[in-house]
A and B are shown apart, each in its own frame.
Chain A
Amino acid sequence: MIVDSYRFLPRSFRPFYEGRGPFPGEESPVWAPFEKRLSASRIALLTSAGVYIKESQPTFDLEREDANPEWGDPTWRVIPATARPEDFAFAHLHINPEDMLADPEIALPLRGLAELVDEGVVGGSVADHVAVMGYQDRELEDWRRTTAPEIVAHLREQGADGLILAPA
């Protein structure tokens, strides 16, 4: 089956995504070989659903986005692998969070990954996964300069052998 990438997108949004080609300066292939067995690897997850921990973390700045619709909060959050579904909140103005609140696994499968670790399919999970808010300004300048290097440093510190990113 070939996935229809625009099935759920309002038709008038399609030109914002389709046929735009590579991001400027990001034309050539990138590749980091995955060298270990999965069963000996530590895996990290990254969601762009604007997840944060209600009790201990600030929300993403939606007020500033509301005042300046071309801008999106470029910061990131650490999500402990042990977080419970009731710990999560979602800050994202472009999607309805109801289903994610009902079952955060659809955006950030912490328990699903933990099960695969228990079964020995995957060697391990990092202690702290990553959350961003996916709606960003078009140039991605803050992500490029600050957020991406910080996330890379975090993933190295966590000993991540590979990362699964899931856009919201």
Chain B
Amino acid sequence: MPVLARWIEAAGIPTVVVTMMPAVAEERRAPRIVGVEFPYGHPFGMPHDKAMQRRVLELALRVLGGAASSGTRVDFDTEWPVPLREAYKSWQPKVPSPIVRKLLEARSQAST
């Protein structure tokens, strides 16, 4: 996604990436980054929490419209309101993705 942002930016359209992994977006040289410490699948926050979603969107717009140079990163200063163990589990798919399944199979073959 940071690379897609770069290609769009290079074509002349300003971009901001709202991401759970701002360190990765920085490494990938995304031009504008908003970091959120949220579980995957929740870049704008908690379901039905309109106030939280709005604050993330406003920060994204502020960084999009106001960042002065490429590589600008601003992190959203709010902790995820669900206990870590629960949130960690609930974002993950019920069935492992094909690539995870493949990696797990490879690992179990290696250990037998």
What are the interface flags for B13-29 relative to A under an 8 Å C-beta threshold, 1 for contact and 0 otherwise?
11111111111100111
A166: Cβ under 8 A from any B Cβ: yes
Check B98 for interface membership: any CB of A closer than 8 A: yes
Residues of B within 8 A of A120 (CB): none
A1-42, CB < 8 A from B? 1-9, 17-23, 26-34, 37-38, 41
**Is there an interface contact between B53 and A168, defined as CB atoms closer than 8 Å?**
no
Within 8 Å CB of B19, what residues of A? 166-167
Interface string of B62-95 (1 = CB under 8 A from A): 0011110111000111100000100110111111
Are B40 and A33 within 8 A (Cβ)? no
Q: Which of under 10, 10 to 19, 20 to 34, or 35 or more describes the interface residues of B?
A: 35 or more
Please tell me which one of the listed residues B40, B50, B58, B98 contacts residue A116 in the complex, with CB atoms under 8 A apart: B58
List residues of B (1-59) whose CB comes within 8 Å of A's CBs.
1-24, 27-29, 31, 35-48, 50, 53-54, 57-58
B48's partner among A66, A103, A161 (CB-CB below 8 A) is A103
Quick one: given A31-B31, A122-B61, A134-B1, are A167 and B14 in contact (CB under 8 Å)? no
CB of A162 closer than 8 Å to a CB of B: yes
Cβ contact within 8 Å between A165 and B16: yes
Total of A-B residue pairs, C-beta within 8 Å: 238
Which B residues are closer than 8 A to A by beta carbons? 1-24, 27-29, 31, 35-48, 50, 53-54, 57-58, 60-61, 64-67, 69-71, 75-78, 84, 87-88, 90-95, 97-99, 101-102
Chain A residues at the B interface, C-beta cutoff of 8 Å: 1-9, 17-23, 26-34, 37-38, 41, 43, 46, 48-49, 65-66, 68-70, 92-100, 102-103, 105-107, 109, 112-113, 115-116, 121-122, 132, 134-135, 140, 143-144, 147-149, 151-152, 155-156, 160-168
Kindly list 8 other residue pairs between chains A and B, CB separation below 8 angstroms, not including A5-B23, A94-B93, A95-B91.
Answer: A3-B35, A9-B21, A26-B3, A32-B14, A97-B41, A162-B13, A164-B61, A166-B17
